[in-house]
Amino acid sequence: MDKNYKPIKSMKEVPEQLRKLRRQYLRYQQAEIIYSISHKKLFELASDAGVIYRIDGTVLINRDIFDAYLERFHEPATGKGKEIKDER
């Protein structure tokens, strides 16, 4: 076994470590990459959601609130792809 490998001491550490990796506040450039949305559309949605924080010229987006806001646009599955008939 590789000596550089450090096993996780307890399963409770996993969610803790993931939370540290997932940022709560994003800059515009980061949010554009994560959400694959253009700057203009991101600004529009973030303004509508009320998730913008301005601190000394730095603009941050609250990711948790923005994710919840985006869920409003989720369309349920239609189920049209379930049945594929073999027409031979």
Asked if residue 34 belongs to a domain, the reply is: yes
Please write the tens of the pLDDT for every residue from 26-84: 999 999 998 999 999 999 999 999 999 999 999 999 999 999 999 999 998 887 766 65
Check residue 36 and give its pLDDT: 94
Q: CATH number of the domain at 44, please.
A: 3.90.105
Tell whether 83 is covered by a domain.
no
First-residue to last-residue Cα distance in the chain: 55
In a domain, 29, yes or no: yes
Q: Is residue 43 part of a domain?
A: yes
Residue 80 lies in a domain: no
Q: Structurally, how many domains does the chain consist of?
A: 1
Domain boundaries, position 48: 23-73
Q: Which of 65, 33, 24 is nearest to 46 (CA)?
A: 65
3-state secondary structure the chain: CCCCCCCCCCCCHHHHHHHHHCCCEEEHHHHHHHHCCCHHHHHHHHHHHCCEEEECCEEEEEHHHHHHHHHHHCCCCCCCCCCCCCCC
Please check whether residue 39 lies inside any domain of the structure: yes
Q: Is residue 46 part of a domain?
A: yes
